[in-house]
Structure 1
């Protein structure tokens, strides 16, 4: 990433960065993107093992100072502005470990999970992304996406440790650093919410395996959405934009019609998608037939 785009970027660690403690895995860096979630960070950071990089999207609530004060082993990068999901890309660039785990400011990895994930990456050279089982809240309910990934109609491919997927939660994945960077990371067309779809498509198109491994566990205690109606419109906007980026025009049309029929939020989202259509078209690229067929299989009812 060109750091000249961020004249206010500040990167500082605490006084020293200790070697990983016994039980922590030196092969994995955890990257946390955050914005104005001081209390969430204060709850989640004590649960993290190993090296952690917090990339701050222009917080105004004192989050970076709090992290430096209370968690001096954590590296903090201040962007000075909100870059959405692409903030994670900078964290991956700064990581020097072969594997990177993502977390949100309200999520963390179960003890031993990252070591198990790293072992699987070591043993499966084609594995580019591992989607974990995500347990939600203190009652540890599996996130609904876990059931969908477990029922994926895609096969268990040779040389991979789990069922193939083309969807995941960004707060519950571990990636092979080189594969993530070669696939472009997250993009600023989508910006935030639904950013996983285009990345999954491009990693699969490059020949990397993406799979669900329920034995690797992440915890997620979701923060309340700041504006639920705006979030719904954003999700519908990004569904259309993701289709423009990589999918056939019939899929674009289907998603646009679905947004238009889903009420005020859908119409707002569709209008927002139209305003961003230029950048999406500039990045448009069709997927290989096998990857498009896999997406179609996932979207077929039944």
Structure 2
């Protein structure tokens, strides 16, 4: 990891300081109410054009985490925006890359932003005031306005109408999810909960963290007058994002939800058309890691999460920001526990990945195909699962991931 600081670790550049190089962008006029209380953390990869537009708009100190860009982003930012602290991760860490910035922050609160998002003037001062006044609040979920039309993100409608009981020590509706690019977090609480995880990696990474914070007794609330702007690129792949949403919904369920919820997530994915099936295959490859981190929250947290699942506005998780129309369609198709609107082809001949791992839990790797079949039979696997294992290549497998790839394919 490479890191550059344009000023001492315990100081922040003020608006009165000159730019450090000729032609460099001057730092925007500071949000004095947020000074010393909030740091903006941005994770990016190969998005120079978006950063050129968004970085001048930030009103608090910025830590930029570069997730292995190959387009010269770190050098560009250092030259053009010398007030920004740049941290190079050298490889793509996904959402957990943000945690590098959180650890380096010297302020009690951290505001996340994407490379194509920024906070409205005065928003971070307001957020800091709210967090100061509500010591149990770990995540302030703000209102995200999408695109030049500034339409509220669909997830914000759901958070504003949260069916969870009001909590008197929180500043707004209680929630169990948030959009990272519209969230301000209490730094110590975020780090104590483990930050973002590398199983989900990216897209929908907020839900597991939200559940863990709630399990630790922290509060999460939606505050409508703290506003962020998000201008996502229309070039993003809608089908790929839907598959990611499905994959990560299944993985998050495996890590934190009861098994019946996991089963519903798998069934919904199987019925979700090509994107759903692709997401399910991708989830199967990460399943061993998700199972290793499985830890269900206290009943009160699961009861709250279940009430959101049953609510018309709750959804299974807030989808991270993307194209407006795509977000609505993805939310409909990927909601845990509800049938998908289209693509109702069930993978009748494909085993449930949860069952696959359960019935192979006694395998001593490396193992050959016949060993896998034998253990599956001993564990009571049905004929369909055994038949699938009998059809995979007859070779030695070094672990569950290798078996999953053989069963579900490599794409």
- If the TM-score is normalised by the length of the shorter chain, which range does it land in? over 0.9
Distance 1:168 1:286 in 2: 20
Distance 2:168 2:74 in 1: 44
Note if contact 2:77-2:84 (Cα within 8 Å) is conserved in structure 1: yes
Q: Does 1:66 align with 2:76?
A: yes
1:155-209 CA deviation, whole Å, 9 max, x = no partner? Answer: 2201111110011111000000000000000000000001000000000000000
Distance 1:148 1:124 in 2: 22
| Structure 2 residue matching 1:244: 3-state secondary structure | helix
Note if contact 1:225-1:231 (Cα within 8 Å) is conserved in structure 2: no
RMSD: 1.3
| Structure 2 residue matching 1:164: 3-state secondary structure | coil
Distance 2:169 2:118 in 1: 28
The within-5 A match list for 1:1-302 is 9-14=1-6, 17-19=12-14, 23-24=31-32, 25=34, 26-302=36-312
Note if contact 2:7-2:13 (Cα within 8 Å) is conserved in structure 1: no
Which stretches in structure 2 are left out of the alignment for 5+ residues? 16-28, 313-411
Structure having the larger proportion of residues in strand: 1
1:219-260 CA deviation, whole Å, 9 max, x = no partner? Answer: 100123543322221111111000000000011000100001
Provide the TM-score with structure 1 as the length reference: 0.94
Note if contact 1:58-1:79 (Cα within 8 Å) is conserved in structure 2: yes
Note if contact 1:162-1:213 (Cα within 8 Å) is conserved in structure 2: yes
Distance 1:134 1:207 in 2: 26
Distance 1:50 1:150 in 2: 26
Note if contact 1:128-1:180 (Cα within 8 Å) is conserved in structure 2: yes
Distance 1:133 1:227 in 2: 24
Distance 2:81 2:132 in 1: 30
Distance 1:82 1:64 in 2: 14
Pair 1:261–1:206, CA change in 2 (3 A): same
Higher relative contact order (CA 8 A, sep 6+): 1
Pair 1:27–1:301, CA change in 2 (3 A): closer
| Structure 1 residue matching 2:195: 3-state secondary structure | coil
Note if contact 1:15-1:72 (Cα within 8 Å) is conserved in structure 2: no
Distance 2:31 2:183 in 1: 20
Where in structure 1 do 4 or more consecutive aligned residues deviate above 6 Å?
none
Note if contact 2:199-2:289 (Cα within 8 Å) is conserved in structure 1: yes
Distance 1:290 1:248 in 2: 13
